[in-house]
Amino acid sequence: MKIIDIDLTKRRVKLLDDSRLNQFLGGVSLATELFTKNCDPKVDPLSPENPIVFAIGPLTAAYPTAAKTVAMFKSPLNNELGESYAGGRLASAMRFSGYDGIIIRGKASHPVYIAIHDESITIKNAELLWNLRSVFSVGRILRDAEPQGPGRRSFIRTGRAGDRLIKYSYVNVDNYRHFGRLGLGTVFGSKNLKAIVVEGTRDITFPDMKAYKKAYKTIYNHLRDSDDMDKYHILGTSAGIQPMNAIGGLPTRNFSSGRFEFADNISGEYFAENLLLRKIACSQCPVGCIHVAYLRVPYKKEEYDVETTFVPYDYELLYAVGSNLGIEKASDVLRLIEITDRNGLDIITLGGILGWATDAFQQELISHKETMGVVFEYGSTMNYLTAIELLVQRENEFYRTLGEGLDACVKKYGGKDFAITIGGQTPAGYFTGPGSIIGHMIGQRHSHLCNAGYSYDQKHLGKELQYKDLVDSLIKEEQWRQVLNSLVVCLFARKVYNVSRSLESLNAIGLKITKEDLINLGQETYRKKNEWKIAAGQKMSVKRLADRLFSVESPHGYIKREFIQQAIDYYSELTAFPIE
């Protein structure tokens, strides 16, 4: 394995070539090894001692949809293990530049960016990029500033939110993909790191090209022909808005309902018919699930003087600043996505915080004095736009607190009963039943993608859930996902990369690995991450869950707090994970 090790404090770059790391295969397994060896679990996430690790996998750039990069860091949002994935061109640029991983430590004395062009690795001045209004301008400037060779290039950077240490800042990857959750952009900001440019010009070959081409074709054909990928290509993940609303699982107005009366207006179908501009794809992906809409907003006061921008949309975004804020019009949702994206904020966290603030305002826990005159009201796009601007400006104590995350808001202003946060982060847009809550709780990064608890709920609609079966199933699923995330394939293609096709893909490029090896790798990575999380002092807490989650009807009826507690107790018995 070839790893770049960069110390920003010392402005030192080291190259490691360590075959002992080969046993970790790549991706999350490699990142876990590098991160846990280099990060004291008790470290302050905003200190120079918090390292950032990026890793790609053995299939990267070799097979379709093997297009993701994993980032690992300690999260400044919830003080837990931070793990985030992004597509775009980063993974292939790393592969073609010859590196399996990157470690970044320390803190630069002034804003910098890192430029990697094959073996040339330099730390450059980024003072002029700091605090620019748009993350997209940062990308444009870097594209002009960096030499353009024949290689694959990727530009990852933070927005103003990261520069200002808002705790849920993202890292933008090649405009339309993101390391979205748990505040990687904030950790960048704490290191005075604005961006990383990676360009690679190398080629990749394998010992048996015939076997490789055969295995490639198998994967490609499944991606092209199987029904599993159709929805991602045709409508994108926003295809889920209408079905989720139909079963009553679409979080609406800060989870006060699972049904949104304007769901049709913000559905994938509506966007496709009226606003879709184009579909694009991560490197080496024939699916192209990234849907981009056009947004026309008045530019000046004169009639017909409009500015057109391109805004990506998907299910989570349409929930977070759509149904969850009661926004009725698709173009208004796009305006909220655009401002969030431009500033570099994690939109799911932002949507949860604005939802809480709206309820807190209506229940008079906060007033005009705190909000600087902004009326927090469901459906009010213009007011939310103003609030986001004030939040990014960190304009007063209230907006600074909003920038600290939902738990900090509750601590200062109250409103725990309607603060929808699980494991210190606002959940994804699935209020499907107990599985969605337990999945977020025990998921190692508190993401719906950890173990798909929401999917378990949907598969068992109309049936009585058994907490042991549910927990067993979620653990098994998450352990297998450690394997997929070590390869690192897109989880949308998880059915295509089943055990046998994953093995065929690995064997065809010369990695002689058995099914048992893969299973062990998944279990061991899972165990090691839990061990680090426990050492960091993390605990699961059912009592911290908002009452609202138990007082609104889900597709499985009213969720019982005791059921969640039983499941968490059982999980703790199996894994020794502590409970609060």
Please name which of 533, 528, 546 lies closest in space to residue 577, comparing C-alpha atoms: 533
Residue whose structure tokens are 């579909």:
279
Please name which of 137, 113, 117 lies closest in space to residue 125, comparing C-alpha atoms: 113
Minimum CB distance to ligand SF4, residue 63 (Å): 11
Please name which of 173, 180, 87 lies closest in space to residue 135, comparing C-alpha atoms: 173
- 435/465 Cα distance (integer angstroms): 9
- 150/202 Cα distance (integer angstroms): 10
- 195/116 Cα distance (integer angstroms): 11
- 3-state SS class at 79: coil
- 429/320 Cα distance (integer angstroms): 7
Residues in a beta bridge with 310:
294
Q: Please identify which residue in 135, 285, 354, 442 interacts with ligand SF4, judged by CB under 6 A.
A: 285
41 contacts ligand SF4 (rule: CB under 6 A)? no
Q: Please identify which residue in 26, 45, 57, 87 interacts with ligand SF4, judged by CB under 6 A.
A: 87
Residue whose structure tokens are 């608890």:
453
497 contacts ligand SF4 (rule: CB under 6 A)? no
Looking only at the bridges linking them, the beta strands covering 152-157 and 120-125 are unpaired
Q: Which is nearer to ligand SF4, 232 or 260 (CB)?
A: 232
Q: Which is nearer to ligand SF4, 25 or 223 (CB)?
A: 223
Q: Please identify which residue in 290, 339, 366, 470 interacts with ligand SF4, judged by CB under 6 A.
A: 290
Give the x/- contact pattern for ligand SF4 in 368-387, rule: CB under 6 A: --------------------
Q: Which is nearer to ligand SF4, 67 or 93 (CB)?
A: 67
Minimum CB distance to ligand SF4, residue 335 (Å): 24
Q: Which stretch binds ligand SF4 (CB under 6 A): 140-148, 279-287, 398-406, 525-533?
A: 279-287
Minimum CB distance to ligand SF4, residue 66 (Å): 8
Minimum CB distance to ligand SF4, residue 130 (Å): 30
- SS3 labels along 58-118: CCCCCCCCCCCEEEEEECCCCCCEEEEEECCCHHHHHHHHCCCEEEEECCCCCCEEEEEEC
Q: Please identify which residue in 54, 96, 136, 232 interacts with ligand SF4, judged by CB under 6 A.
A: 232
Q: Which stretch binds ligand SF4 (CB under 6 A): 109-117, 259-267, 284-292, 389-397?
A: 284-292
Looking only at the bridges linking them, the beta strands covering 69-74 and 306-313 are unpaired
Q: Which stretch binds ligand SF4 (CB under 6 A): 281-289, 389-397, 405-413, 565-573?
A: 281-289
287 contacts ligand SF4 (rule: CB under 6 A)? yes
Q: Which is nearer to ligand SF4, 92 or 383 (CB)?
A: 92
- Give, rounded to a whole angstrom, the gap between the first and last alpha carbons of the chain: 40
430: its two tokens: 């699935």
Q: Which is nearer to ligand SF4, 132 or 487 (CB)?
A: 487
Q: Which is nearer to ligand SF4, 77 or 282 (CB)?
A: 282
Residue whose structure tokens are 């915080």:
353
- 290/292 Cα distance (integer angstroms): 7
Q: Which stretch binds ligand SF4 (CB under 6 A): 98-106, 156-164, 280-288, 558-566?
A: 280-288
Q: Which is nearer to ligand SF4, 285 or 428 (CB)?
A: 285
84 contacts ligand SF4 (rule: CB under 6 A)? no
Q: Which stretch binds ligand SF4 (CB under 6 A): 12-20, 287-295, 301-309, 404-412?
A: 287-295
Give the x/- contact pattern for ligand SF4 in 54-73, rule: CB under 6 A: -----------x-x------
The string of DSSP codes covering 175-204 is TTEEE-SS-HHHHHHHTTEEEEEEEE----
CB 447 within 8 A of CB 440: yes
CB 71 within 8 A of CB 186: no
Please name which of 407, 419, 412, 479 lies closest in space to residue 450, comparing C-alpha atoms: 479
Question: What residues line the site for ligand SF4 (CB under 6 A)?
Answer: 65, 67, 87, 232, 281-282, 285, 287-290, 490, 492
